[in-house]
Copies of this chain bind each other. A is one copy, B any other.
Amino acid sequence: MTEEATKRRRAGGRAGNKERAGSAAIDQMPWRLPVNPDRPTEPLDEDGVQAVHRATMRILRDIGIEFLNPEALEIMRQAGCKITGTNVRMDEDFVMEMLARAPETFTMTPRNPERELIMGGKYMLFGNVSSPPNSWDLERGKRPGTMESFREFIKLTQYFNCIHFAGGYPVEPIDIHPSVRHLDCLYEKLTLTDKVVHAYSLGAERVEDVMEMVKIAGGLSEEEFQARPRMYTNINSVSPLKHDFPMLDGAMRLARRGQPVVVTPFTLAGAMAPVTLSGAVALSLAEALAAIALLQYIAPGCPVAIGTFTSNVDMKSGAPAFGTPEYMRATQMTGQLVRHYKLPMRSSGVCAANVPDGQAMWETSNSLWAAVQSRTNMVYHAAGWLEGGLIASPEKFVMDCEVLQMIQRYFEEATFATTEEDLAFDAIKEVGPSGHYFGVAHTQARYQTAFYAPIVSDWRNYEAWNLDGAQWTAERAHKIYKAIIAEFEAPAMNGDHQEELKRFVAKRKQEGGAPTDF
């Protein structure tokens, strides 16, 4: 992309970035909570929805879910579930009673209240790639995650207005010891961003530390913290049919303090789930609903969401595939059932590609459009994901943000409005059969905001593009990523809170951090 192009300005583009006015690497869309106006794509008819629901209930009643957590088992026994060893079976009446307690919609308010999120309904929120052990970029290739890379991705997470929450670690900084990694990571997240953050449910100490740090960063009393969602966790079942100790432990700790829990089974059809997609979806739902029933029993009305991560494997190699037709249909079917249960939904922006090339973008586009079509509320890994989640890439992050911005623009009513002014009869009459629309008042009044303005797309012709270095998309994205990092300024933070955060991290490090033997 040319200097000229990267310096282009667009009306309104600075609204969410006042602090960077005049030096922005890109001219992006302002911060907003996108609202998805489309009727969802529904592959299942009403009989199909009922069939998946019945299969889900039958799994919960007749097969049961393993809860590898004695406390959770004891709670489920008290709740009247049938316990056999670690196996928990529950009937439909109980499950539906518990689900009815959960809110259809809830908010999450981070330290900057202007970044408050609404989760549920037609809202659609995007988060950064989470948890890859490696990073890859055009300069350095694939390498293990470091704190330096972690910081870069957190800066991208903060910079892009189309990224609404700071999910899991965008890359695992393996140069930081696991006992204290969560302390350093959360310190960076809470100071480099002012967006909603996430806690991994990987042990009591980590979960408690993150909640404490969120409180400190926001200057919140325990009462204020518990009064409304301030952060969230995401737990994964161990498919098939199991919830492990730390995930259930973390989920219960958050639920008891009013913080949201997203339950996301990872059911790869043909591997840890049936090869048939509605079966894989039913298994995934059964796992999710079992955990949600537990949480609603111990904390009635606590905010929860159902996540889907149902994809398929390549049946020749066993390799996981993402953004496939099967992935899209599984996501859409899950959306239908999640709406049936009246809960918010999470899905993902995913691909199997190893580099940010054509395959990466058709797979990611497929998964993101499936998110739109399923009326997903929270899109994990919406920017930066490669290699089935084993790589985080800053170029891919920038490229994905282009797609996310296009989805946000696609949601705007202006793209399908039919007022008299939109129908433009007078302009059509004025221009007639031999004119051009650029010069007329109807166009001039609107041209600055009429269309989506890209950040990394190059719409010049081949010759102009070629003269300017013939850069493919990933190369242009690389330059934008570097420019963003170079100009990044951390969001304002109360100095006392930052000092207290530092002291807390130092104290907890001195105490040894968290055990690493789980």
Contact = CB atoms under 8 A, between A and B. Distances in A.
Given A416-B277, A459-B317, A59 B425 contact: yes
Contacts of A473: 353, 357-360
A130 to B, nearest CB: 18
Contacts of A241: 428, 432-433
Given A425-B58, A457-B359, A433 B279 contact: no
Given A315-B447, A416-B329, A473-B357, A55 B410 contact: no
Interface in A272-300: 272-280, 282-283
Given A329-B415, A359-B457, A59 B421 contact: no
A333 interface: yes
A275 to B, nearest CB: 4
Given A275-B447, A326-B451, A436-B272, A423 B55 contact: yes
A428 B366 contact: no
B319 A417 contact: no
Interface in A444-494: 446-448, 450-454, 456-462, 465-466, 470, 472-474, 477
A172 interface: no
Contacts of A240: 428, 431-433, 435, 437
Given A43-B38, A357-B358, A361-B362, A316 B271 contact: no
A442 B474 contact: no
A355 interface: yes
A37 B48 CA distance: 14
Contacts of A276: 417, 421-424, 442, 446, 450
A230 B495 CA distance: 77
A460 B319 contact: yes
A357 B354 contact: no
A179 interface: no
A443 interface: yes
A388 to B, nearest CB: 8
Interface string A61-98: 01101100000000000000000000100000000000
A248 to B, nearest CB: 14
A139 to B, nearest CB: 15
A276 to B, nearest CB: 4
A52 interface: yes
Chain A binding site: helix, strand, loop or mixed by DSSP? mixed
Interface stretch (A110-118, A205-213, A398-406): A398-406
A6 to B, nearest CB: 13
A451 B365 contact: no
A464 B361 CA distance: 21
A48 B459 contact: no
Contacts of A176: none
A478 to B, nearest CB: 12
7 contacts: A63-B429, A274-B443, A276-B423, A352-B457, A359-B361, A365-B369, A366-B406
Given A59-B425, A242-B434, A317-B460, 9 more contacts: A240-B428, A240-B437, A271-B436, A274-B442, A276-B450, A282-B425, A312-B450, A325-B410, A358-B472
Interface of A: 8, 37-39, 41-44, 47-48, 51-52, 55, 58-59, 62-63, 65-66, 87, 134, 136, 142, 240-242, 269-280, 282-283, 312-321, 324-326, 328-329, 332-333, 352-366, 369, 387-388, 390-391, 399, 402-403, 406-407, 409-410, 412, 415-418, 421-425, 427-429, 431-438, 442-443, 446-448, 450-454, 456-462, 465-466, 470, 472-474, 477
